[in-house]
Chain A
């Protein structure tokens, strides 16, 4: 989906290569790439594999158990809308996790921002864009506060955000009022998850995404090749483009199919929340993979001391990451509010944070810092949404739902920890 940020590597230890850089030439052949990939997986760098496997296996499982309902266009649309707020929250958390920090307050921050949005719309009566701006600024300011406590005062992020997890629930309660529910009546905000892009425009957007991706990828490949730099073989590049195309086309076709339960109404099109997620995915992937800021985030997460000695302002990077993460929490809160058409004192509480951390980790972001990509949030968010949605269709009891979801997060964290041990052991 996005460009390679941390490029290919092979994990074979060992020395003695008289010609030098022969691994770079090996990467030129399809076989070499495949071998490199296998080496990487055996070395503990699983990448997107667990998440993709999870999506495939879980989809097959729930389809087998609920063939009538699970893979219908209506349910897939629901599932994607369910995944959107989880994914958006996880997209911000990936950055915090990259630093080796954690933000336990991200969920309730999304609640505070949603409450600000709701009250700006309902009580103050500002137009939707002012309310959205207010929610985003609230998120950014909270991130600045959290980041300052963590990076400048030096309190462990675990403690800061655990304290804020409690405190912000109080803030939401104060803004919304005891036992109250503030409905979201604004049409534009509600449209995020309750209105759909016209079918024709939906296809145009899908085509634009595919063509843009193909053009950028091929152009980059051609540029690198012409300068004699390390490239993947054309076959692999084309395969990636083909896979992205298939995913985009299939999803667009499903979302553009009529999913109404009664023939009298017409219900089709891509929910507006989806392009919001895709746009932020592209923007954040660019920021993380192609800019100095992103590179420095990886460096701080990989080796803080090395980053400091290289002249990187570690404090500034950490604060900015918390600002970014909390701003993404605001976006997530916004979409969640649109989906439920209301904000309650409990918004962003419960399992919101657990789901988002789970999404990032299942997607392949390490809890130990230094390894992760923005797309992890999307893949992991889908896994979490499939579990949540599928268990709902199965009608399992609430207690079982909690236990299974918690178990999946533990499983993902175990895979992460084992992969890390494996990578450490592979080093000579």
Chain B
């Protein structure tokens, strides 16, 4: 179902030679990454490969030490979460950060409530939330006035993603959106990820699940020990190659030159 469309057009987000260290521990070594509008990029890698650090760098939580951060054809400085948000980069973290005691609309607008004078403009927020959910073809919610506490894991993920989309975001980063979900709920979330891309968003999603990768991704970016082993269209690799890239950083003529590790 996923048509590779990553080759045409220019990336909305591009990292060139990004490095990041925490004290003496260098986590990212000259990482390059391209994320295209309208396409889904799966970010894969073993535990400790630097996936989380990479998305936190993009989100401005751990600003990069060196390297270039390009957004929409311009070189930008992202030194904090606010910078990333201003560019239109939204991150959906694994723990989702939803308030259980508030309903779907209230959560989607949390911190950015619309007001009429001093009063909350519930009507306009409810409408906008419904519109966004409809655009994403979300049909699993019974009511936008349902408390988040009463939602299933997949529905919560849906709300968190819809919340990220509400802000005219251009890049949506998802941190393992299908971890801890059942089969049916994973299906819903993957459909939603696909629709995010189909509505023009650039989607970068972290996953450990090869099925998910080949289900929705247009491109796959594999990190190996803090280096980008490959960032290629999904059509150029198969499952075995992706697993090799994750576990050894190489697969055939793809991947890292072993010389980079010599002397390390």
> Residues of A with Cβ closer than 8 Å to B?
6-24, 26-27, 43, 223-224, 227, 229-230, 290-292, 295-296, 298-299, 301-303, 305-307, 309-312, 370-371, 423, 426-428
Contacts and interface: CB of A to CB of B under 8 A. Distances in A.
B99 interface: yes
B120 A291 contact: yes
A20 B140 contact: yes
A27 B154 contact: no
A242 to B, nearest CB: 24
A223 to B, nearest CB: 7
Contacts of B41: none
B150 A18 contact: no
B101 to A, nearest CB: 4
Interface of B: 93, 95-103, 106-107, 110-113, 115, 118-120, 122-123, 126-127, 130, 133-134, 138-147, 149-155, 184-185, 188
Contacts of B146: 9-10, 23
What 6 A-B pairs are tightest by C-beta distance, nearest first?
A: A310-B111, A23-B142, A302-B99, A23-B143, A20-B139, A370-B101
Contacts of B93: 309
Nearest to A25: B143
A81 to B, nearest CB: 33
Contacts of A27: 143, 145
Contacts, number: 143
10 contacts: A7-B103, A20-B134, A292-B113, A295-B106, A295-B113, A299-B111, A302-B102, A309-B93, A309-B97, A310-B112
A9 B110 contact: no
Nearest to A290: B119
Contacts of A306: 96-99, 107, 110
Nearest to B85: A311
Given A298-B102, A371-B101, A12 B150 contact: yes
A97 to B, nearest CB: 13
B182 to A, nearest CB: 9
Contacts of A290: 119-120
Task: Classify the secondary structure of A's interface with B.
Answer: loop
Given A16-B140, A295-B110, A303-B97, 7 more contacts: A11-B149, A20-B139, A227-B123, A227-B127, A291-B119, A298-B106, A312-B111
Contact of B112 (A311, A370, A371): A311
B128 to A, nearest CB: 11
A412 to B, nearest CB: 19
B254 to A, nearest CB: 37
A229 B184 CA distance: 30
Contacts of A295: 102, 106, 110, 113, 120
B212 to A, nearest CB: 19
A416 B215 CA distance: 45
A10 B150 contact: yes
Given A302-B102, A303-B97, A371-B101, A15 B120 contact: no
A9 B152 contact: no
A423 B110 contact: no
B105 to A, nearest CB: 9
A19 B133 CA distance: 13
Contact of A15 (B119, B133, B149, B152): B152
B143 A230 contact: yes
A14 B152 contact: yes
B99 A307 contact: yes
B140 A17 contact: yes
A252 to B, nearest CB: 29
B166 to A, nearest CB: 12
Contacts of B141: 17, 20-21, 23
A312 B143 contact: no
A310 B119 contact: no
Nearest to B163: A310
A311 B111 contact: yes
B99 A299 contact: yes
Contact of A312 (B103, B110, B184, B188): B110
A310 B110 contact: yes
Contact of A427 (B111, B138, B145, B150): B150
